[in-house]
Amino acid sequence: MTKTASQPLESEAKPFTRLRFRCAATGKLVDYEVPGDAKTLKDLWSRSLWRSCRHCGRVHRFAFRSAYIDGILGASRWVAEQA
Ligand SMILES: [Zn+2]
């Protein structure tokens, strides 16, 4: 049996899920991590979250669902936009 060393257990190696939303005041992107287990995701899915913004200092309200999707879709572009 061949062992694949470069394949970590994702559910244990990455317990957090990245959310992403856009600051309404500055238009900049804000990342936000939440526990990535299935129970938490299911619990938060239809809710809205509040998050203090590091760009404008205010607290923004955003839908978990859209932020979750943006976090996944934007993951590959995230590094480039932060640079
Ligand atoms: Zn902001």
Question: Taking the domains of the chain in order of start, what are their residue ranges?
Answer: 15-82
Q: What pLDDT shows up at residue 73?
A: 86
User: Measured in angstroms, how far is the CA atom of residue 38 from the centroid of ligand 1?
Assistant: 28
Residue 15 Cα to ligand 1 middle (Å):
26
CA 31–ligand 1 middle distance (angstroms) = 11
| SS3 letters across the chain | CCCCCCCCCHHHHCCEEEEEEECCCCCCEEEEEEECCHHHHHHHCCCEEEEECCCCCCEEEEEHHHHHHHHHHCHHHHHHHHC
Q: Which residue has the tokens 């669902």?
A: 65
| Ligand 1 centroid distance, CA of 62 (Å) | 11
32 CA → ligand 1 middle, Å: 13
CB 55, CB 25: distance < 8 Å:
yes
In this predicted structure, what is the pLDDT of residue 30?
Answer: 92
pLDDT tens sequence for the chain (83 residues): 655 556 555 545 668 899 999 998 999 999 989 999 999 999 999 999 999 999 999 999 999 999 999 998 886 654 555 55
**β-bridge pairing 16-22 and 59-63:** unpaired
